[in-house]
Structures are given as C-alpha cells and as structure tokens.
Amino acid sequence: MDLNRGNNPNNGKKPEGERPKGSYFTPLMIALILVLLFSWIMNTVEKSQYTETTMSDFFEAKNSGQLAEVELRYDRILYMTKEEAAKDPSRQKACYTGLPSGGDMLALERELIAEGVTVNNQIVEDNSMIMMILSYAIMIGAMFLLMNMLTKRMGGDGIMGGMGKSKAKVYMEKQTGVTFKDVAGQDEAKESLQEIIDFLHNPQKYTAIGAKLPKGALLVGSPGTGKTLLAKAVAGEANVPFFSISGSDFVEMFVGMGASRVRDLFQQAAKVAPCIIFIDEIDAVGRSRDSRYGSNSEQEQTLNQLLSEIDGFEPSKGIVCLAATNRPEILDKALLRPGRFDRRIIVDRPNLQGRLDTLKVHTRKIKLSEDVDLRKIAQATAGAVGADLANLVNEAALRAVRMGRQAVNQEDLLVSFETVIAGTEKKNTVLTDMEKRLVAYHEVGHALIAALEKHSQPVSKITIVPHTSGALGYTMQMPEEEKFLSTADELRTELRTLVGGRAAEQVVFGIQTTGASNDIQRATSLARNMVTQYGMSEKFGLMSTASVQNQYLDGQAYMDCSQETAAEVDKEVMRLLDGAYTDAKRILTENRQLLDEISEFLLVKETITGDELMAYVNADKNALPAPEQGEE
Ligand code: ADP
Ligand code: ZN
C-alpha cells in the first residue's frame, strides 16, 4: 500500500569491449617447467631403483663373465650380474654406470653378445636421443594447451596469463560509437566535458599558451544517471579509444596485484594516446586512507600507484582520466588535489525535461503508435534515473511484442512504468473480500486526503491490483510541475496523506493492519527530516540536529547532537506524527460518506483515475465545509 515513487536499482549493463590478446608466454613457461620437473622426478625414481657403480666395476664383471644382462642406453649402461639375478630374479638390470668415454658402443655390443650376454641396445634400436627430444616436445605442447585452457577458464586470460596484468579486466574500445546525442539532458555535465574533448582533438592549442589541462575529472552522481555513458560519449566525440575498468577490479586477492594492474593500465593507455581512461566506482580504490572507512594496505598500495601514475603522465600526451563515484565524500583528499581529479562534474537525476529527452533518446529506434504521450510518462517518473527510463522503454517494447502489436502504445508505457517502479501486476494474488475492502479503504484514505487538501500533489491513479513488489495497492500522485522546494505546509500535507491509509483503517473498521508499514516508515523519516534538517519544528526551530553524509548514495542523515537532544527529537517527531494522524482521522470522519462512496466504487472498478476521484470530490465539495488546515 504505497504511495507512488521510488526508483529501481541501476540496471545499466557494461558492454563487452575488445579484449587485448592474452599472453602465451607464461603458460608456455609453466608447461616447460612442469615437463622438466616431471622428467627430473622420473629420473630420480629410476635412479633410486638401481645401484650406481663405476666403469671399472662394470668391466670387472664383464671380464669375469659375471654379466647376465645389459641394456645400452644413450646416456648409461644398465646391467645385471649373475649373482644379483640369482638373488632376486624379478629385478632386472640392478646396476648402472656411465658410458665409456669415446667407446664404440657397437663394438661393445658385439663383444658382449659374443660372450653370451643378453644385450638390449636402445641406442641403435630407436634413435633414443631424437625420440626423447620429440616426446619432450609433444609433452610440452600438450601441457601448454592444457595450461592455456585452464587459465582461460579461470576468467578471461586468467590467473596465469594475467598475472600482474590488467589485461584480464580492462575493456578497450577503439570506438565507443556513443556521442553526446545519445546522452539526454545533463547539459551542464556535457558543457564541462566539452573542453576535454576539445583538448583531445587539439592539445597544441592549449600547450601553446602554456595552459595546463586537467588530467582527470570526477563524475559524481547516483547509480544509473549515465556517468559511464557520458564518459563513453566523451571518447566518442573526441574519436579516441576508451579504456574502462572498475575500481573493484583493482582490489585483488593478492597483495600488489592492484598496483600492478594500475601500472599496466596506464602503460597500455600510453601506447594508444590520446585516449580516455574511465575508472568506474573509484571509491573502491580511492577510499580515504585514514582508517575511518576501513581501508587496507592492498587498497592503499593501489591508490598510491594510481596517484603516481596520474602525476607521472605528461598532460600533453593526451590521456584524460575520468572516474565515476556516488560517494565523493569518502574519497582520499589526495585524489582530489589540483592536477589530479580536481574537476567535479555533477551528473544529476534528470528533471522533467531531462526525463522527456531520455525517453526520446531511447524510443528513437522503437515504433511508437500515435497515442503515445511521452511527456505524461516523464511527468510520472519523477526521481527515476536514465537507467530506469531505458528499462521502462524496453519493457514497453517487450510488452507490445507479447501483445502481438506492431507498435508501442501509451498503455504499454504506463504498464511498464508500473513494472519498473512498482513491480509487475500480480494477477493471481487472491485477497479475501475483507482484505480487499481494507486495501480499498486504505488507498482511498490516502487519496481522499490528498484530494481534499490544498497543498497536495494531485492524485493520478488509485489501484487495488496487487503488485509483485508486495504492495497490495497504491495511490499514485503526480506533480503538475517539477518541484525543487517544498514548503512546510506541503510537507505537513504529505504527512497527513501518508498516514491517511492507516487513519482510514482505524476510522472505518477500528483495526490496524500491517499494510501501513511502508507508509509509517516514510512518514517517520519525513517527520524526522522536518525536525532535524529543515528547521520546521516549534521545539528546535532552526537548529539542525543531523547532517547528511552520503548525499549521492542514500542521502542518509546522521544525528549530530547530544543524547538528550536526540531523545527530545524523537519526542518531537512523535508529536508531528500524532498531529498528522489526528488530522487525518478527523478529515476522514468529516468526509465519511465520500470515503465510503469512493471505496465502494474502487472495489468494483479496481483502478480509478485521478479525474474520476476528483469528479466525486467536486460533486460533493459544495455540500461540505472546506477542510481546515490544521496545525500539528
Ligand atoms: P552509471 O554509470 O551512472 O551508473 P550508466 O551510464 O551505466 O550509469 O547508465 C546505464 C544506462 O542508462 C545507459 O546505458 C543508458 O542506456 C541509460 N541512461 C542513463 N542516463 C542516460 C541519459 N542521460 N540519456 C540516455 N540514456 C541514459
Ligand atoms: Zn498506504
């Protein structure tokens, strides 16, 4: 039972770029070492089976006719004396010795045969030297293939091929194919980036005057606002290669890996400069080195390497480093020093026009039917980021295909808006009649208060069709225009609207349900913000008791006041909520007839529009006293 709004997590995908060729050197080396090791082990094992003797022992045995069996190898003679053979018949050739130097092996063989010794000449038989070299070569080859396969499987070029190389995770695109035309809105960001593009086109123009160009710029904004897209567009506009790597890729299992990745990345980039290096999620490596955010030595090493690389390259070379983050406040100050990422480019959530443009960009290649009104969709999606909108358009297109239509119509867009923002309509949830009544009254409770109050945003839709997000119904409010400021009156109205659902349950049925939990959370956090940050409570006046730390992530505020004050704040928040709840109950009681009528209507129709709601309210309005603007 939600009021509308909320946004989806970023679902932008990182396209697979061109991956540089893996190195074959390391797997080859490893294969070689393995084979050598193997043959050494074999050798030792073989040696341990035999007793090493001297050349004179051998000739002594030969001359005294003690030899039973001899095997001539290219590097040694294996032999067995009659005595040994008698002791242990299962053993063969129990002794070995080297070859007689300069000796004629064939003559030796003939001599032995003449003496009645069994001779097995490996040298003559199979050219063992060549055979051995050949078999070693085959073994090395097989090992190499195996190693190569193994390392491939272990992710990209893998542990072996990529030892200390960033090759495994760096994506290089010679041409991104993305230009500023593909990035809707974000005019200020584009303007700031324009200079970088110009610089990449024509570095001499800048160096001639002696101007130093920024080596890096930091793109700051919530996930899905198009930071990656902007960086790619810069590369596309400047027509230079685009290297991208994510900060989290630097953070490796092995100490020192991250640093070597950084080194390698800049080396690769230097080869093809001018180019753009894009580091996504730079906060993963660039986190402040003081221990407050829990850094570690590996991350510190990586960061130090990054800093020294950035300082190291000549600006005139034409490497520009762009980095993205949604938590600029945790970045190490050293990264933000002049000459490093000293430019900060804010990539905001799009406003109405921005959203409209984003929708236009993403519907460029999609067949739209005539009834489509993108402006309406843009109005409904306040707070959504570019990635949400891209997703919405795609969902709409998929739905159109599912429905067997040739073009996307407005309904597709509206329905997929609900999919993206509020989860898909759950057709098979069966509510009992009583539950349905409760949900209907709850939603009308929200809607009616919003409709009756002066400072509220108009209701555009009320529904009791359940959604997979868990909401059993919701009331959607749509601002008529983009708003950046809210007045205290508007916020108080919002509070009353939020608790209106619970108030309706209480007024009509005298019960309280779990369906209001989300409303209560939102109302509480709004009330808390009013007290702690907006200076809208009587008790604390203009005193701020909390400060926002992660402005671009979750906007969460932390209390920065004494324990006693915090307790007082809680009381004040409670007072605000109580006041809003009392007001809501009063408004609904005073308009009980209207509440019943609209709820019954909603129960039948399941979904009603804002216009239908207003028709009821307006028909009734003259008969009713104007609702008071109650203070808390
Ligand atoms: P971020 O890097 O900020 O998390 P991305 O750049 O990866 O966000 O955006 C994800 C996707 O959202 C993009 O591929 C694009 O399709 C869409 N998108 C985001 N912002 C915009 C925009 N301003 N204009 C057009 N499309 C956008
Ligand atoms: Zn609700």
Nearest CA to ligand 1 atom 9: 226
Task: State pLDDT tens for residues 509-562.
Answer: 999 998 888 899 999 999 999 999 899 888 888 888 888 776 665 566 778 888
Tell me the torsion sign for CA atoms 440, 441, 443, 447: positive
The answer for residues whose C-beta is within 8 angstroms of residue 182's C-beta and 6 or more apart is: 229, 233, 361
Residue 521 CA to residue 533 CA, distance in Å, equals: 17
Residue 609 CA to residue 498 CA, distance in Å, equals: 19
Which residue in this structure is represented by tokens 């605000």? Answer: 576
| Residue 443 among the catalytic residues | yes
Other beta carbons less than 10 A from residue 420's beta carbon: 24
Residue pair 394/402 in contact (Cβ under 8 Å)? The answer is no
pTM of the prediction?
0.58
Determine whether the shortest distance from the Cβ of 223 to ligand 1 is under 6 A. Answer: yes
Residue pair 500/588 in contact (Cβ under 8 Å)? The answer is yes
Residue pair 405/28 in contact (Cβ under 8 Å)? The answer is no
Ligand nearest to the CA of 232: 1
Task: State pLDDT tens for residues 86-135.
Answer: 777 666 667 777 777 666 777 778 888 888 788 877 665 555 577 778 88
pLDDT < 50: residue spans in the chain: 1-22, 153-168, 424, 426-428, 623-632
Beta bridge partners of 73: none
Q: Tokens at residue 287, please? A: 């986190």
Q: What pLDDT is attached to residue 253?
A: 55
From the list 69, 109, 309, 443, the catalytic residue is: 443
Residue 441 CA to residue 436 CA, distance in Å, equals: 9
Determine whether the shortest distance from the Cβ of 185 to ligand 1 is under 6 A. Answer: yes
Nearest to 553 by CA among 221, 189, 229, 281: 221
Determine whether the shortest distance from the Cβ of 473 to ligand 1 is under 6 A. Answer: no
Task: State pLDDT tens for residues 249-304.
Answer: 776 556 667 788 888 888 888 888 788 899 998 888 887 766 555 556 777 888 88
Cα Rg, the chain, nearest whole Å: 39
Could you tell me the distance, in angstroms and rounded to a whole number, from the CA of residue 474 to the centre of ligand 2? 7
Determine whether the shortest distance from the Cβ of 183 to ligand 1 is under 6 A. Answer: yes
The answer for residues whose C-beta is within 8 angstroms of residue 513's C-beta and 6 or more apart is: 438, 442, 505
Determine whether the shortest distance from the Cβ of 222 to ligand 1 is under 6 A. Answer: no
Residue of 229, 357, 388, 392 to mutate, ligand 1, most atoms within 8 A of C-beta: 229
Ligand nearest to the CA of 498: 2
Residue pair 529/13 in contact (Cβ under 8 Å)? The answer is no
Nearest CA to ligand 1 atom 27: 386
How wide is the angle at C-alpha 33 spanned by C-alphas 28 and 37, nearest 5°? 150
Residue 512 falls in which region: left (phi positive, over 0), alpha (psi -120 to 50) or beta: beta
Could you tell me the distance, in angstroms and rounded to a whole number, from the CA of residue 501 to the centre of ligand 2? 5
Residue 318 CA to residue 277 CA, distance in Å, equals: 11
Residue 359 CA to residue 4 CA, distance in Å, equals: 20
DSSP track, 465-489 = --BTTS-S-EEEE--SS--S---HH
Q: Which atom belonging to ligand 1 lies closest to the Cα atom of 324?
A: 2
Quote the strand ranges of 132-224, DSSP E. 171-173, 216-220
Residue 430 CA to residue 613 CA, distance in Å, equals: 25
- Could you tell me the CA-to-CA distances from 238 to 21, 371, 478, 586 in Å, in that order? 25, 39, 40, 63
The answer for residues whose C-beta is within 8 angstroms of residue 129's C-beta and 6 or more apart is: 74
- Could you tell me the CA-to-CA distances from 104 to 64, 72, 80 in Å, in that order? 21, 12, 21
Other beta carbons less than 10 A from residue 366's beta carbon: 14
Q: Which atom belonging to ligand 1 lies closest to the Cα atom of 229?
A: 6
Q: What pLDDT is attached to residue 507?
A: 94
Determine whether the shortest distance from the Cβ of 476 to ligand 1 is under 6 A. Answer: no
Q: Which atom belonging to ligand 1 lies closest to the Cα atom of 11?
A: 10
Determine whether the shortest distance from the Cβ of 229 to ligand 1 is under 6 A. Answer: yes
Tell me the torsion sign for CA atoms 286, 290, 295, 300: positive
Burial of 376 (0-12, 13-18, 19+ CB in 10 A): middle
User: What is the identity of the amino acid at 254?
Assistant: F
Q: Which atom belonging to ligand 1 lies closest to the Cα atom of 357?
A: 24
Determine whether the shortest distance from the Cβ of 351 to ligand 1 is under 6 A. Answer: no
